[in-house]
Amino acid sequence: MSVSSPVAVGSPPAAAVEQSTLSASAGGARLAGVDGLRMLAALAVALYHYLGTPTPRFWGEAYDLPQVAPLLHAVSGYGWLGVEAFFLISGFAICMSCWGRTPAQFAVSRVARLFPLYWAVVLIVVAVGLVAVSAGQRSGAPTDLRTTLGNLTMIPGPLGVDFTAGVAWTLWVEARFYLLMGVLLLIGLTYRRVIAFGGLWLVLASIGRELHSDVLDELLLTQYAGLFVAGIGLYLMHRFGANLLLWLLVGFAWCYTLTVLDDRVATHPTSTWGVSAAVLTGFLLLLALTGPGPLRHVRWRPLVYAGALTYPFYLVHQSLGIPVTRGILKTVPGLGLLPCVALGLLLSLLLAAALNRWVDRKLGRLLRHHLTRSLNPAPIAPDRPVRGRGAAALER
């Protein structure tokens, strides 16, 4: 099944991190290791969709994945945990992005980073779908105007329309996290306030789960709160150094995360809680090594570029990459499933590189520039000089 909703078998969210947010707080150097972890999470989600799903949804009954690639199928079946990994990294990177910014500046950075690429992918998916319909084929995504307009807002789920890009449901999860961080920015971002915010968030999320409140679940992201808070705690270690209080915050957040992880495991019948908890904990340790740990000094530029491709690759690998792979499989059936999957992933990466070059680097920067200027617009001079007593009144 796809990842069109949090209860589906597939997964997101997720999640995108601004290019400039992963610079170290001292010296301005990129955290290349964290960039690499982002791509690792995206590849895990992609492998889940291509090889790990427990149904022949994408490739048809002729290709039984447990028979065609039993080991790859078993390993890829845990790729949905890449979604959780995205949220963990997001806690780290968004806390870094918030530091030293006003709420308006933070909002501009998020809008300029997320929307241009997302709009481009939605429009490409719709265009491909319309071409398929005109050729007498079934479109893999909704192409009607109402659904398209709803998807361009990036919140199609709350508006009651289907997702054009199946993985985009995680962006709504991210957006609510950004809103919570924006509230904290309004109050004022300090070391102690961020710690208090993380602890309070986990307590309120626990209360929300106890009350079985849909409203609190939506507002407090009770399924994913522990991941975001753990990432925030690791960023505070990166910025201020590790101490007992921060380890307690991360430990409490992780106990919360692994406890509620059982809800997500239940929607993935080929996964077990023990293996899922171990895999996710391993990813936490990797982030601890690459964020506040010794691997923060890694400066390998290919990892930085991989981080730049993560968001566009994540957006296109299912909605565009899978239809392309399916087309190759039908056109050249003798090639076999695994080579076709490799080609589909490669083409998704190439498309991500094109989107990064022509949309993110150009339109994204242009949008950021104009939004930043819009925060401080110049006053418009009157067409005619105003004379007399009225002029002084107007000036006042």
The 10s digit of each residue's pLDDT in 88-120 is 999 999 999 999 999 999 999 999 999 999 999
Q: Are 80 and 42 in contact (CB under 8 A)?
A: no
- Here the tokens at position 356 are 């990064």
Indicate whether 159 belongs to any domain.
Answer: yes
What is the tally of structural domains in the chain? 1
> What is the rounded distance in angstroms from the CA atom of residue 46 to the CA atom of residue 12?
9
- Here the tokens at position 125 are 């998916």
Indicate whether 224 belongs to any domain.
Answer: yes
pTM: 0.89
> What is the rounded distance in angstroms from the CA atom of residue 13 to the CA atom of residue 80?
11
Instruction: Give the range among 136-140, 200-204, 314-318, 335-339 with minimum mean pLDDT.
Output: 136-140
Domain containing residue 187? 19-371
Indicate whether 91 belongs to any domain.
Answer: yes
DSSP state of 30: B
| Closest by Cα among 114, 39, 15, 2 to 306 | 39
330-339 long-range contacts (CB < 8 A, ≥24 apart) are 337/59, 337/63, 337/65, 337/68, 337/69, 338/68, 338/69, 338/72
CA angle centred on 374, ends 371 and 380, rounded to 5° = 155
Residue 262 has what pLDDT? 97
> What is the rounded distance in angstroms from the CA atom of residue 322 to the CA atom of residue 135?
19
214: amino acid identity, one letter: D
Residue 3 has what pLDDT? 44
| Band of pLDDT at residue 66, cut at 50, 70 and 90 | confident
Indicate whether 8 belongs to any domain.
Answer: no
| Closest by Cα among 89, 72, 24, 19 to 288 | 89
| Band of pLDDT at residue 207, cut at 50, 70 and 90 | very high
Q: Residue 30 pairs with which residues in a beta bridge?
A: 23
Residue 53 has what pLDDT? 87
Q: Residue 23 pairs with which residues in a beta bridge?
A: 30
Instruction: Give the range among 22-31, 133-142, 303-312 with minimum mean pLDDT.
Output: 22-31
What is the residue-wise DSSP string for 73-126?
HHHHTTTTHHHHHHHHHHHHHHHHHHTT--HHHHHHHHHHHHHHHHHHHHHHHH
Indicate whether 381 belongs to any domain.
Answer: no
Instruction: Round to the nearest angstrom and report the end-to-end CA distance of the chain.
Output: 63
> What is the rounded distance in angstroms from the CA atom of residue 304 to the CA atom of residue 89?
15
Burial 360-372, CB ≥16 within 10 A → b, else e = beebbeebbeebe
Instruction: Give the range among 52-61, 106-115, 303-312, 386-395 with minimum mean pLDDT.
Output: 386-395
Indicate whether 170 belongs to any domain.
Answer: yes
> What is the rounded distance in angstroms from the CA atom of residue 215 to the CA atom of residue 57?
33
Residue 302 has what pLDDT? 95
CA 320 to chain centroid: 17
Indicate whether 382 belongs to any domain.
Answer: no
Q: Residue 99 pairs with which residues in a beta bridge?
A: none
- Here the tokens at position 88 are 């963990």
